[in-house]
Structure 1
Amino acid sequence: MPQRPHPWLAPARLAVAAFAAVALCFSGYHAATDSTGVVNYFSYFTNLSNLAAIAVLGYGGWAGLTGRSPVPGAVRGAVVLYLAITGLVYGTLLLTYPDLQVIPWVNDVVHRAMPLVLLADWLIDPPQRRVRPAAVLGWLAFPLLYLVYSLLRGHAVDWYPYPFLDPALHGGYRRVAGACVLLAAAFLLIGGAVAAVGNAFAARRRTHGEAVVRRRHARA
Structure 2
Amino acid sequence: MTRSSGAARFLVAWSAFRALAALVIIFTLVYLFVHDLSYVRIAEDPPAAHVPTYVANYFSYFTIESNIFAALFLGAAAIWGFTRGRRGAPQPRALVAGQVLAACCMLLTGVVYNALLRGDDTAGGVAPYVAWTSELMHVIAPLVLLADVLIAPRPARPRWSAMLVPIGYAIAYVLYTLVRAPFIVSPVGGAPSWYPYPFFNPAVQGGWGGVFSYIGVMAAGFAVFSAALVAFLRWRARPK
With structure 1 as the length reference, what TM-score do the two structures score? 0.85
Query: 1:216 is matched with which residue?
Result: none
Greater than 3 Å deviation, 4+ residue runs: 2-5, 68-71, 126-129
Question: Is the contact between residue 22 and residue 74 of structure 2 (CA under 8 Å) also seen in structure 1?
Answer: yes
Q: CA deviation at 1:127?
A: 6.9
The 5-angstrom pairing of residues 107-186 of structure 1 reads 107-125=134-152, 128-157=155-184, 158-186=193-221
What percentage of residue pairs aligned between the two structures are identical?
Answer: 31
Question: Is the contact between residue 167 and residue 222 of structure 2 (CA under 8 Å) also seen in structure 1?
Answer: yes
| Stretches of structure 2 lacking an aligned partner (at least 5 in a row) | 41-47, 185-192
Query: 1:16 is matched with which residue?
Result: 21
Question: Is the contact between residue 69 and residue 101 of structure 2 (CA under 8 Å) also seen in structure 1?
Answer: no
Q: CA deviation at 1:129?
A: 4.0
Secondary structure of the corresponding residue to residue 130 of structure 1: coil
Question: Is the contact between residue 11 and residue 153 of structure 2 (CA under 8 Å) also seen in structure 1?
Answer: no
Matched, 1:78 2:101: yes
Q: What is the root-mean-square deviation in Å for CA atoms of aligned residues?
A: 2.2
Task: Identify the range of structure 1 (20-29 vs 71-80) with the bigger mean alpha-carbon deviation.
Answer: 71-80
Question: Could you say if the C-alpha distance between residues 182 and 126 of structure 1 is closer, same or farther in structure 2, counting changes exceeding 3 Å?
Answer: farther
Amino acid at match of 2:225: I
Query: 1:38 is matched with which residue?
Result: 55
Number of paired residues? 204
Query: 1:52 is matched with which residue?
Result: 69
Question: Is the contact between residue 163 and residue 227 of structure 2 (CA under 8 Å) also seen in structure 1?
Answer: yes
Q: CA deviation at 1:96?
A: 3.2
Query: 2:43 is matched with which residue?
Result: none
Q: CA deviation at 1:132?
A: 3.3
| Stretches of structure 1 lacking an aligned partner (at least 5 in a row) | 208-220
Question: Could you say if the C-alpha distance between residues 180 and 202 of structure 1 is closer, same or farther in structure 2, counting changes exceeding 3 Å?
Answer: same
Query: 2:187 is matched with which residue?
Result: none
Counterpart CA distance in 2 for 1:63 and 1:138 is 21
